[in-house]
Amino acid sequence: MIARLGYSLLFYLAMPLVWLRLLWRARRQREYLQHLGERHGFHARRPARPLIWLHAVSVGETRAAEPLIRALLQAYPDHGLLLTHMTPTGRATAAALLASFPERLTQAYLPYDLPGASARFLDHFQPQVGLLMETELWPNLLHAASRRRLPMLLINARLSVRSQRGYRRLASLMRPALASLRGVAAQTAADAERLQQLGATATTICGNLKFDVVPGAAQLQLGAGWRQAFGRRPVWLLASSREGEEALILDAFAAMRVADLLLVLVPRHPQRFAEVAELVAARGLAFCRRSAGALPGSTTQVWLGDSMGEMAAYYALANVALIGGSLLPFGGQNLIEAAACGCPVLLGPHSFNFAQASEDAIACGAARRVGDAAEAAAAVSELLADGSRLAAMSDAARCFSQAHRGATARTLALIEGVMAPRKGY
């Protein structure tokens, strides 16, 4: 209790900085200034249906949760689903789901982890169960849920060695939070063990929900259309790139000697689209932007993928993809969507966010590790010159994706175990 009180006090003292950061982000993405009351637990309406609450902090978690959301809505036809986020891009990612289930899905921001805000949020929506995706462990929120006897599950849970070290320094705060969970659906045995060492009790290995995300037919058709338009022109994709990585790849790309090679850059965060465009222009490379509408011409060297929700199309187009966030120590982004699209993958040295999936993909021949940007460019040149090896990696990627599916059904079974009928708090 003392640790949580100290944490709450520091959070209150830091709120001016939190709001300054929100305003700073709004300079590039005005959506951060919308729904401000929700960030302190003030919400406009509550659906009449009993609610299942799922928190998916941003884009990746929201996409990963989609198969589970559909399964929950089918398994509990009398319930609505409250989907919370922390970022505008996460909120926007669920637009297609909202269009499919307008009467049953409600969106909101999860409030900041302050005692009053957490209490207002839970008392307003009164969910029957709370599902937190991956590593969203908020001490005040979990304490408020425990006081209201609200069963909470951590699903698709993962914890890297680096994150475990950080949580250990906050053991007096995080151990009670983890112990309050009714269950943990871990991605791997290693994730389950690390969480248990920090205080989680009821852990189950359910696999990674991202493997159950099937690329949309419309996106695959879009990518196939691009592929047909480009003919035999080779395409190298830098997918979900992070700050600093584009410059390294652009310099490596400029030194390559692969005829007609098109580099496709898709930054992870939309607020960086303009910044990345400036990086390309500063190097004198001929480029165009996806947002302009026209496809790259024969002399275009770089295509900036400044669009949202089209990653599957880019993977369907590419001959080979380097997964962003892995070249510099960000921990890597999700390689599973690339595998589902049959796209051969290159990984930089930093993939600790998806350690098990990365090692499994490398072991089965779906992915290849590179040390830096120059080694990535050399690997691309080598693979493009060896069509049979590239085709083998593509086949291995599809097999890897299919072999790891089933996490949705296992997670749903875990949720069903705590979904006893409840009448408020």
DSSP secondary structure code for residue 234 in this structure? -
Whether 151 and 181 have beta carbons less than 8 Å apart is answered as: no
Tokens representing residue 8 in the block = 């709450």
What CA–CA distance (Å, rounded) separates 372 from 305? 22
Which residues in 182-220 are b (16+ Cβ under 10 Å) and which e?
Answer: bbbbbbbebbbebbeebbbeebbbbbbbbbbbebeeebb
- Tokens representing 151? 């069963």
- Taking a C-beta distance cutoff of 8 angstroms, is the pair 344, 393 a contact? yes
Catalytic sites, residue numbers: 61
Structure tokens at 119: 């209490």
The torsion angles phi and psi of 330, rounded to 5 degrees, stand at -95, -15
* Rg over CA atoms, the chain: 22
- How buried is 363 (Cβ within 10 angstroms: 0-12 exposed, 13-18 middle, 19+ buried)? exposed
Longest dimension (CA), the chain: 67
Burial 33-52 (b: 16+ CB within 10 A, else e): eebeebbbbebeeeeebbbb
Report the amino acid identity of residue 32: Y
Judge whether 55 and 87 are in contact, CB under 8 Å.
no
Sign of CA dihedral 366, 370, 373, 379: negative
Beta carbons within 8 Å of 263's beta carbon, 6+ residues apart: 236, 238, 249, 250, 253, 301, 302, 303
- Residue 64: which of 239, 217, 268, 209 has the closest Cα? 209
Alpha-helix residue ranges (DSSP H) falling in 76-137: 88-93, 95-100, 115-125
